[in-house]
Amino acid sequence: MKFLITGASGQLGRGWQRNLEGQTTNEFIALNRQELDICNPKSIRKVFTEYKPDVCINTAAYTHVDKAEKEYDQAYKGNVLGPQLLAEACAHRGIQLVHYSTDYVFSGKLSDRDIYNDGYPEEAPTDPVNQYGASKLAGEKAVVSALPSALIVRVSWLSGIEGNNFVKAIINRANSLGKLSVVNDQYGVPCFVPDIVDQSLFLIQNKHVGIYHLGSKGCISWYDFAEKIIEYSNLNVPIEVVESSRFPTQAKRPHFSKLSTSKLEATGIAIHSWEIGCKTLVSELIKA
């Protein structure tokens, strides 16, 4: 298969490249925003005509959660218009589209933790609490409208070897500050780039379409996550437990972000615990 990866500079885009570089049965091209502007129909047409991909992996997105409160036009452009144009082009040329979305499409109410003990299922009612989540939900709907056979995958608490993420931030702050303050009233489950790519590939190869939640097993707080990162890093750093109100943000954050992977597991793929992904990533970061 020939893969086209958008958003090549992001942690997920780079994770896809790492995976496909080690394969002999697939080929790929990975393009950043300067090389492929997904909001420009001419740019999409040029790349699709020249490369003729079988699958388009859209990891490009507007991801500034707080800035989206004031920059909704930009968020809409990156998270709705761009994916819609890609979906229309894929529909016209018979290309499979994989589009990444987020747990932020849900309300994230703490009370939902009791209602959805296993995490939000794909069919749970959506109700984003900030503009970023609203733009991602609108993007999902735009993609499905243009290309009903698209594969839309939602992820949460994503971390990888590249880019900015919670794991790297905790290690850096622990080393530079010698102490940490981490919230203990927001719950979810971390997911890791290599797992997300592997799970996505499995769905592609087995011709699954529609919405799927990807990720790891478990449900923890950010404090629990930080504690394990410190443990795996062999650091001796005190962690203060604080409430999220201690760190006010422009955009409201969900208190419950766990996505149920039951639908994914029903396909036959094995899903491991978040601790395994965390330990592997920390080990790679220490070696880097």
Helix or strand (DSSP H, E) at 221: strand 220-221
Helical residues (DSSP H) of 188-288, grouped into ranges: 193-205, 222-232, 262-265, 274-287
Q: Which of 132, 187, 212, 232 is catalytic?
A: 132
Helix or strand (DSSP H, E) at 241: strand 239-242
Question: Coil, strand, or helix at residue 277?
Answer: helix
- Known catalytic membership, residue 62: no
Write the DSSP string, 136-181.
HHHHHHHHHHH-TT-EEEEE-SEE-SSS--HHHHHHHHHHHHS-EE
Locate 197 and state its tokens.
Answer: 């790519």
What does the alpha-carbon distance between residue 155 and residue 122 come to, in Å, rounded to a whole number?
A: 11
In terms of Cβ atoms closer than 10 Å to its own Cβ (0-12, 13-18, 19+), residue 33 is middle
* Exposure b/e, 197-220, CB count within 10 A at least 16 = b: bebbbbbbeeeebebbbbbbebbb
Which of the residues are catalytic? 132
